[in-house]
A and B are shown apart, each in its own frame.
Chain A
Amino acid sequence: MKRIVRSSLQTSANLVFFAIIGTAILSATYYLTHDTIAATVERAKLKLVSQLVPPASYDNDIMQDVRTLAPDELLGTEEPTQAHIARRGGKPVAVVLEAIAPDGYSGKIALIMAIHPDGTLGGVRVVAHNETPGLGDYIDIAKDDWITTFDGRSRSLFPDEYWKVRKDGGVFDYMSGATVTPRAVIKAVNRALRYFDAHRDELFVADARPVKGEQR
């Protein structure tokens, strides 16, 4: 009996030893790469943002001028997200915010878009999606420039009932074979614009206060 206890204690001590060494190696790597990772992620985001808001059009540090948006049904978000504000000479040029289309063909489609203070879209990009390659993935700028049809559109230009694909009586083109995907994206962009109209003043104030959302 004593021998069994001793050998199992030895075995567990052995396991613990390996776990400690492993944890030490992991912590060291995390510590060494942490800053680089943060910088890389930031750079990638900035690159995306600069596709939507030309860097020449603003003069503030867009990565630092952030507003935390509470989860909101119109944005399709379930976690707080961050909106970046572009300003020139202190005056707002655009807000870059994240939205989610919950009803893609295979799951959620994550979007990022720039909206000018007058409610016009600077542009929309798909950040993450699981749409079928070759069918629904033309929403991705890497595959097709379909997503640029949103550039310059606004709710004052087209009332909400026109924010549909042509097949459904709207103004947006789509590619045959995949209408579920563009429908989801168009709806999500329209909802985000409605969110923007409802929260415009809170979004552009200079002090960084979180913007409250509405959850039903």
Chain B
Amino acid sequence: MSFAEFKEIAWNGLWKQNPGLVQLLGLCPLLAVSSTVVNAVSLGLATTLVMTLSNAAIAPVRSYVPNEVRIPVFVLIIAVLVTVVQYLMNAYLYGLYIVLGIFVPLIVTNCIVLARAESFASNNPILPSAFDGMMMGLGLTAVLGTLGALREIMGKGTLLSGIDLVFGDEAKAWVIHVIPDYHGFLLAILPPGAFIGLGLIIAGKNWLDLRTADKARRQPAPAAQPEAAQG
């Protein structure tokens, strides 16, 4: 595995094939939990951990799993890992566990996890697979975090509210009141706000991609221009 290949995997996960913006997989938790940055990033990181572990666990056993039962085996491995993560969160991050609630066990049903197991880990060695899981997870986390920040600022006028659930009561002071004395914009916090926000982020990504492509096309132009002028 060369450096270039790892770079390719990272680029795919974070931007080109971003699960939240391009593949549009695993949107159920994305839209439900992204009402604040803390919730969004926490669920994103939990999903990243599961994806890294599940890809790393599936890659080494891929040649021992009969093709006909590979999906049940993959789901089994993912379910085990999610439950392990759930136990650990319940034990050490209780406040967050309560807030994320049902969405932690629901990581099992997040199709992006199975999608990466099926399309990447089942054909690749362990290291690139784990790396792919991590990068896809981080890509998803980045989208979740952005959407969470967008919704939290618009909906509540704050950033990082609920951070004390992760770092304990002393972290309550870390909450940033972006817009002081804000009365809230309910739509941003309700599920429709998530859809609208995600739509805007996707539009933003597409616009950036188009602009980059446009620039790339115009690149040779300066050399060609004088000729055109002469002609």
Q: A residues touching B (Cβ–Cβ < 8 Å)?
A: 10-11, 14-15, 18-19, 22, 25-26, 29-30, 33, 36-37, 40-41, 43-44, 132-135
Contact = CB atoms under 8 A, between A and B. Distances in A.
Interface in B154-171: 155
B68 A11 contact: yes
Contact of A19 (B64, B76, B186, B189): B76
Nearest to B83: A26
B140 to A, nearest CB: 23
Contacts of A19: 76
B53 to A, nearest CB: 11
Given A18-B76, A22-B80, A40 B69 contact: no
Interface in B31-89: 35, 61, 64-66, 68-69, 72-73, 76-77, 79-80, 83-84, 87-88
Contacts, number: 61
B68 to A, nearest CB: 6
A41 B184 CA distance: 32
A13 to B, nearest CB: 10
A33 B90 contact: yes
Contacts of A30: 87
Closest 9 CB pairs of A and B: A36-B91, A22-B80, A33-B91, A134-B186, A40-B94, A33-B87, A29-B84, A37-B91, A11-B66
Nearest to B95: A44
A29 B85 CA distance: 9
Interface residues of B, number: 28
Interface in B166-214: 184, 186, 189-190
A22 B76 contact: yes
B94 A41 contact: yes
B92 interface: yes
Nearest to A18: B73
Given A26-B80, A29-B83, A40 B91 contact: yes
B94 A44 contact: yes
Given A11-B69, A14-B65, A14-B66, A133 B190 contact: yes
A37 B64 contact: no
B113 to A, nearest CB: 15
A168 B65 CA distance: 66
A40 B90 contact: yes
Contacts of B88: 29, 33
A133 B191 CA distance: 11
